[in-house]
Every structure is written in structure tokens, then in C-alpha cells.
């Protein structure tokens, strides 16, 4: 067996096999041509964007207290969240339904596995990735160039909607919490007001501070007037020469003052202006009024917070900063027919050449003799 190892021998072998090699390469090239011509043109549209930092619309950012150096662009967490949303079934199913991809991909929607097939076909044409600038890039390929750009815009809009909805749901829970707290505090305030109203009616209290001063002064004046009248009566009676009418007038005045003092100070008095009754209700009314003031402050604080969070909730922020908007493609993305035909022809040429070299290399080997020798060796061993 002669080993042909020189380059000249290789070239001689290839020359002898030139016709089969050329025919094989030509057939492969023609098959590639027909295949490429049968494939429709695909057009790609893409969008490049950065996620926004949603804290720019937070309570601290809108009403003070936030970091002045806060970045308007989102970080790694925001990027990961947006990419997860972009790959979510909600976005994929939205595009499938919006553009009726069952009909577009010629899939029978009545089949059991139809949803699986249509999603797989779409995901082969739908790509989500993070580029070297840490921006998010979303691209879609389709045979309809107009639909391609429209689908990318629809994906971007749906991503923004879902991202904002997730944020709004959390804000809505916070709003509901503050709203319930305001209602609870208002109910306590109303109950406290009813209690104060009842206590004031029971103890005849209008204003603790002014009424306390008024009653104290009135009792003191009454006691002082009573003491003065009593002293004058005693003095006149001690002289024995006072007119009887004067004595009677003084006694009448003293009796009136005593009755007045009784109504002002006696626990048994049914007068609404009574110091004893006032003193018994004063502490209760004062405590409830202080409680009302605290509740009013709490309600004011909660309402202020509620207003702030309501403003945040009503503020709509676009959660994506688009740096490269999708556009209608004018050049197909695939197939690259020339490259495909050349590649197939080259691969066919290389493989057919290797096949020719192998056939020529092993053509002098007597395979029947080798087989007989191996058979004899096995018999000898047994």
C-alpha cells in the first residue's frame, strides 16, 4: 500500500476526482439556491431603552426629603425587573392575541398544542437582551416589515403598562392603608366629640377655662356680698335702734344671697350654673378635649400624607427612556442568500474532497484478505 502524503499527490488525487467533486458541490449549491429562494424575507425592528428610576415620582421626590443626587435612570434591579416583564407570558400572550399570530403563523388554534406552537414560533423571532452599554434591547423579526415595527411598539407599551401597574398596586395599598387610618381616627374623634357633648350637657360646662374663672369669681363675689350683708345686719341689730324695714331688707338680701350661693356650690342644687357640678365634670371634659386635640393632630397628619400619596399615585411617569425607537426596516435581516449558497458550496467542496482523498487512500487495501486473517486469528484463539 503506497501512502500518498505529499502535497503533489493530494493535488493529483483531487484532479482525478475533479468531476465528482464539482458535480457534488454544484448540486449542493443548487439545493441551497432553491432552499434560499423558498424562504421568505424576514425584517427586524428593534428598540433600545433604559429603565427609569421610579423613585423620581416618589413622595420624597415630589414633596422634599429625597436625595438631590438621585439618578433618573434605574439600576440593576430595575433592569432585571424590566427584562423579566419583557419575557413574561403576559407580554407574549398579549402580542399573540393582538396580532392574531395563530393565523399569521398558519397555526390551527383549535388544536390542543396550538398555544405551545404559536408561542415557540414567536419566541424564535422575539429577542430580549442587555447590550454592552447596559441598555435593554428588544427586537422582533417578521415577514411583514410594517407589522414588525408596530409589534415592537406594542411590546414597549405593554412593558410600561405592567411596570407602572405593579408600582401603582403598591401605591394603592399604601393609599388604602392611610384612608382606613383616617376613617378610624375620624370615628374616634366623632365618638370623643359625642362624649364631650354629653358631659357638657350633664355638668353644664360650656368652656372649661372661661367658665372656671367665671364661677370662681361669681362664688367669691357672692360670698363676699353675703358676708358684708351679714356683718351689716349684725351691726344694726347690736345697736337696737335700726329701723325694722332696714332689718327686713337686709334679711331678705341675705336670704337671696344664701340661696344664690346654694345654687352655685351645693351638690344638691339643680342649677346648671353650679361649681360642684362643674368641678365633677371638669377633669373628664378636659381629658376628652385633650384627646380630641391629639386626634385632630393625627387626622391632619394622616390627611396630609394621604394627599401626598394620592398625588404620587395620580402622577404618571413613563418608566422607559427610549434611546433608539423602533422603525420600519427597509433591509431584510435574513436570509443572507449569497452567503448561504457560498457556505453550502464550500462545505460540499471540502467534504467531497475529503471523501475523494479517503477513497483514494484506501483503494489498494484488500479488505477481503484482512477479513479472512481476522477470522483465522479468532479461530486460533478459540
pLDDT at 40 over 80: no
What is the spatial distance between Cα 200 and Cα 285, in angstroms, rounded to a whole number?
Answer: 7
What is the spatial distance between Cα 49 and Cα 131, in angstroms, rounded to a whole number?
Answer: 10
Could you report the per-residue pLDDT of 106-165, keeping only the tens digit for each? Answer: 888 888 888 899 999 999 899 999 888 888 999 999 888 888 999 999 999 999 888 888
DSSP code for 56: G
DSSP code for 131: -
379 vs 174, higher pLDDT: 174
Could you report the per-residue pLDDT of 321-362, keeping only the tens digit for each? Answer: 888 888 888 777 776 666 777 787 788 878 888 877 777 776
- Nearby residues of 348 by Cβ (< 8 Å), 6 or more positions away: 24, 25, 27, 28, 29
Could you report the per-residue pLDDT of 7-29, keeping only the tens digit for each? Answer: 676 677 777 777 888 888 888 87
pTM: 0.58
Amino acid at each position: 500500500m503506497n501512502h500518498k502524503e505529499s502535497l503533489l499527490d493530494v493535488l493529483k488525487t483531487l484532479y482525478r476526482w475533479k468531476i465528482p467533486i464539482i458535480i457534488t458541490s454544484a448540486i449542493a449549491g443548487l439545493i441551497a439556491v432553491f432552499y434560499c429562494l423558498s424562504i421568505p424575507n424576514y425584517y427586524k425592528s428593534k428598540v433600545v431603552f433604559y429603565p427609569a428610576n421610579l423613585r423620581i415620582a416618589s413622595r420624597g421626590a415630589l414633596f422634599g426629603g429625597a436625595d438631590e443626587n438621585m439618578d433618573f435612570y434605574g439600576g440593576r434591579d430595575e433592569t432585571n425587573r424590566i427584562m423579566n416583564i419583557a419575557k413574561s407570558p403576559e407580554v407574549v400572550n398579549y402580542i399573540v392575541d393582538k396580532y392574531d399570530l395563530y393565523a399569521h403563523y398558519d397555526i390551527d388554534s383549535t388544536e390542543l398544542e396550538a398555544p405551545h406552537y404559536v408561542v415557540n414560533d414567536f419566541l424564535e423571532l422575539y429577542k430580549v437582551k442587555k447590550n454592552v452599554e447596559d441598555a435593554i434591547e428588544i427586537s422582533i423579526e417578521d415577514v411583514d416589515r410594517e407589522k414588525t415595527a408596530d409589534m415592537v411598539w406594542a411590546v414597549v407599551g405593554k412593558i410600561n403598562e405592567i411596570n407602572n401597574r405593579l408600582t401603582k398596586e403598591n401605591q394603592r395599598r399604601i393609599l388604602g392603608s392611610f384612608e382606613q387610618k383616617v376613617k378610624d381616627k375620624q370615628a374616634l374623634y366623632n365618638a370623643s366629640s359625642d362624649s364631650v357633648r354629653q358631659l357638657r350637657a350633664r355638668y353644664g360646662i360650656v368652656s372649661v377655662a372661661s367658665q372656671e374663672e367665671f364661677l370662681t369669681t361669681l362664688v367669691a363675689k357672692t360670698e363676699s356680698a353675703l358676708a358684708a350683708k351679714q356683718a351689716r345686719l349684725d351691726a344694726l341689730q347690736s345697736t337696737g335702734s335700726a329701723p325694722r324695714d332696714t332689718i327686713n331688707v337686709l334679711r331678705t338680701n341675705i336670704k337671696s344671697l344664701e340661696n344664690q350661693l346654694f345654687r352655685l356650690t351645693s351638690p344638691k342644687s339643680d342649677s346648671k350654673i353650679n361649681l360642684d357640678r362643674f368641678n365633677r365634670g371638669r377633669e373628664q371634659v378636659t381629658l376628652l378635649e385633650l384627646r380630641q386635640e391629639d386626634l385632630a393632630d393625627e387626622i391632619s397628619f394622616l390627611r396630609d400624607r394621604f394627599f401626598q400619596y394620592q398625588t404620587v399615585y395620580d402622577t404618571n411617569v413613563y418608566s422607559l427612556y427610549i434611546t433608539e425607537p423602533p422603525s420600519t426596516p427597509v433591509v431584510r435581516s435574513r436570509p443572507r442568500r449569497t452567503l448561504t449558497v457560498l457556505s453550502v458550496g464550500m462545505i460540499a467542496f471540502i467534504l467531497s474532497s475529503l471523501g475523494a482523498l479517503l477513497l483514494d487512500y484506501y483503494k489498494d487495501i484488500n479488505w477481503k484478505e484482512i477479513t479472512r486473517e481476522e477470522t483465522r486469528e479468532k479461530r486460533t484463539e478459540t
